[in-house]
Amino acid sequence: MNANMSVNISANMDDYRIASEPYYEESGEECALFEAAFAQKLPVLLKGPTGCGKTRFVEHMAWKLKRPLVTVVCNDDTSAADLTGRWLLDEKGTTWQDGPLTRAARTGAICYLDELVEARADTAVVIHPLTDTRRLLPLDKHNELLRAHPDFLLVVSYNPADRGDHKQLKTSTRQRFCALAFDYPDTERETAIVVRESGIDPEMAARLVALGVRTRRLQGHGLDEGASTRMLVHAGALIGQGVAPADACRMAIAVPLSDDPEITAALLSTVDASF
């Protein structure tokens, strides 16, 4: 890659900086532990259920550490080339374009691969050299062996509740990371989060949290997961918009949680009993 292209990439990283502090309610020592991992440039794995605050936590830490944050939401089509980069054809001929992982490693950003287990298997091969003492990213198609910037940090997340064989993170990959386990906050913290994020009063927020706790008790009894904190915030936002609480909970919680008619009916009954 020529010098001019490197300068352009660096200049664009301002777009990845978080301007204001993202709200995050700490539940333990996760912030201090993340800072320690960043100081030692140890890759970090975040484990926890959907909607419990993993992404918000990474955003908060990127702001706190004053580092750009490059986020990739992985899916079934995410390949190694999507992360590292590819040659593109334009009016000047062929031009190499860094992928998000390469861009972060080159410039010293935090790269967050959200739900890494959803990506294709070849992505693990790409990140392995970045997660040990080598901190290297081989760019075979660009004939380059990129040594990661001293401030680069790799963070990945996944939801261990997804039990499908194709959604298990391999031991050889998992053991390369320090890990932080996330779960839904305790009721007091979760109520405070719903109040802060949706703007509803604490009493109504507490009732939403109580409903969320009831749905989580159904995990393993027809539900893969109960209502996430995110879903409770969505319900609170609808209530703040003037929607009746029961209708808001049906729309934001009960109906999205399951496609099974019997489970959905049970969830709707729980909503009716709660409001």
Give tens-digit pLDDT for 3-24: 344 334 444 788 899 999 999 9
- Kindly report, residue by residue over 161-197, the tens digit of the pLDDT: 765 555 678 888 999 999 999 999 999 999 999 999 9
- Kindly report, residue by residue over 218-246, the tens digit of the pLDDT: 887 888 889 999 999 999 999 999 999 99
Q: What is the pLDDT of residue 221?
A: 80
Least reliable range by pLDDT among 27-41, 60-74, 181-195, 208-222: 208-222
CB 252 within 8 A of CB 235: yes
Beta strands in 50-175 (DSSP E): 69-73, 85-90, 93-98, 110-114, 136-139, 144-147, 153-158
What DSSP character marks residue 96? Answer: E
Q: How far apart are CA 60 and CA 42, in angstroms?
A: 18
- The mean pLDDT value of the chain amounts to 91
Task: Name the band, by pLDDT with cuts 50, 70 and 90, for residue 1.
Answer: very low
CB 62 within 8 A of CB 108: no
- Residue 217, pLDDT > 50, answer yes
Cα dist from 36 to 7, 44, 182, whole Å: 30, 11, 18
Give the mean model confidence (pLDDT) for residues 59-71. Answer: 97
100: tokens are 């998000």
140 or 240: which leads in pLDDT? 240
CB 57 within 8 A of CB 63: no
pTM: 0.88
- Percent with pLDDT over 90 in the chain: 75
- Kindly report, residue by residue over 85-99, the tens digit of the pLDDT: 998 887 778 888 999
Beta strands in 106-205 (DSSP E): 110-114, 136-139, 144-147, 153-158, 178-181
7: tokens are 């300068």
Q: How far apart are CA 105 and CA 84, in angstroms?
A: 10
- Residue 39, pLDDT > 80, answer yes
CA-nearest of 237, 242, 240 to 253 is 237
Q: What is the pLDDT of residue 113?
A: 97
Q: How far apart are CA 20 and CA 23, in angstroms?
A: 9
Q: How far apart are CA 223 and CA 156, in angstroms?
A: 25
- The DSSP element (H or E) to which 24 belongs, if any, is none
Q: How far apart are CA 4 and CA 173, in angstroms?
A: 35
Q: What is the pLDDT of residue 163?
A: 52
CA-nearest of 190, 214, 212, 185 to 202 is 190
